[in-house]
Structures are given as C-alpha cells and as structure tokens.
Amino acid sequence: MSTPLHADATALLGGWTPPSPSQAALAQAYLGFLAARPDANERTCRPGHLTASCVVFDPAVEQVALVLHPLVGAWLEPGGHLEAGDTTVSAAAEREVREETGLEVAIDPVPVTLDCHPITCRGYRQPTRHFDVRFVGRAANRSPLRISAESHDLRWWPVTDLPDLGGEVRELIAAGLLRLGRTPPHSVY
C-alpha cells in the first residue's frame, strides 16, 4: 500500500523535467523502483531507499553550506533519510537542513538533480543504495551554522573557493546556482 509520502515522490518525479538525458534515465529508474517497492521511502528497504538533500546558499548566493559527513569523510550538502512525519520529499530535505545546520531555508520544491549512490547506513552491515532527490535552497539569513551530532564539521564555503569535492557535489552546486539565476564560476566545474 502506497503512503502519502510515496505518492508524493512518485508524482514529483513523474512530473519533473530533468536537465539532461542522463538525469531523465535516472528519473525513470527511480520511478521503476517506486513502482516496485511500496516501502521505497523507508530506510528499512534493504535494496535501497529514497533520501532527500539540499544544496543551501547564503542569501546573496555567494556561499554554500557544506557538511563534513562522518561516514563518507567528504564535504556534502545536508540531507538524509525520509521520515514517517514528512509530508513531502521537499519537506524532508527542509527538515534535514534544519537538523544538520540549524538554518531556516526556502527550498525550491522542484528537484535540481538526482543521485543514486551506494552506502552502508548506520546500524546496518550490508551496503544499500540511496536514491537521493536533491533540491536547492537559500538560507533566510546568514545566521551562524549549528553543527549536529551527525557531522564532523560544517561551514560556509565561497562558491569561488570550494574544498575538494566529488563531481556529483560540484554538479549539484553548479545546477543550484543556475536554478537561482547565477552563472557558476569556472572553479565549480
């Protein structure tokens, strides 16, 4: 039986206009997974599960908030598992930003990109996959960041001077800048 959150994910991705052919193919894979798994939004779904994340820019869209993730040891956008109390996938991303950074953020409810990656979740021995739905947001103000217990570090990075990042995070930052009407600097690519 489909939950309202599962139905939201299906409608969201079914109505999404992907930015590239590879993203369109990934969206079809997500939709196939959702059709096959009524539990696709639950972390207990062992083959994989949906997650939500958000690249967060400061109000001037000059800096981006990144979290040093303890499990993967890399700077990433805030994000995580969907929870039963989440009403939409974008609301889950907004909650994750609040929990991991302390920021109030205005999230564009239309996904920017998708990213499916292998990971071993806390409390599990076997690897699974995160079917991450990635959004863009702008912080309400440039308030200090509040690090959570889920992170090793958290900080604002100038978009012109980013730390060593994986390609998928750089692509997300570039896509987020474009969505917010900014041209990504050459250093993002």
Q: Alpha helix locations (H) across 15-166?
A: 21-36, 89-101
More confident residue, 148 or 6: 6
Q: Is the pLDDT of residue 73 over 90?
A: no
**What was the pLDDT predicted at 189?**
67
Q: Is the pLDDT of residue 71 over 80?
A: no
For residue 32, what are the contacts with CB-CB under 8 A and spacing of at least 6?
none
Find the mean pLDDT for residues 26-50.
95
Q: Is residue 188 part of a domain?
A: no
Q: Is residue 48 part of a domain?
A: yes
Find the mean pLDDT for residues 141-167.
87
Q: Is residue 120 part of a domain?
A: yes
Q: Is the pLDDT of residue 46 over 80?
A: yes
Q: By residue range, what is the domain housing residue 81?
A: 4-182
State both tokens at 31.
């939709």
User: Which residue bears the tokens 């400061």?
Assistant: 58
Q: Is residue 189 part of a domain?
A: no
pLDDT averaged over the chain? 92
**What was the pLDDT predicted at 131?**
97
Find the mean pLDDT for residues 1-15.
93
**What was the pLDDT predicted at 179?**
96
pLDDT tens across 103-145, in order? 999 999 999 999 999 877 766 677 889 999 999 999 988 778 8
Q: Which long-range contacts (CB under 8 A, 24 or more apart) does 68-76 make?
A: 68/151, 68/152, 68/153, 68/154, 69/151, 69/152, 70/150, 70/151, 70/152, 71/119, 71/120, 71/122, 72/119, 73/152, 74/165, 74/166, 74/169, 75/157, 75/163, 75/164, 75/165, 75/169, 76/169
pLDDT tens across 169-178, in order? 999 999 999 9
Q: Is residue 170 part of a domain?
A: yes
Find the mean pLDDT for residues 70-92.
92
The burial class, CB within 10 Å (0-12 / 13-18 / 19+), for 150 is middle
More confident residue, 69 or 124: 69
**What was the pLDDT predicted at 125?**
73
Q: Is residue 78 part of a domain?
A: yes
The count of domains in the chain is 1
Q: Is residue 187 part of a domain?
A: no
| Strand segments (E) across 101-152 | 105-107, 113-119, 128-139
CATH of the domain at 36: 3.90.79.10
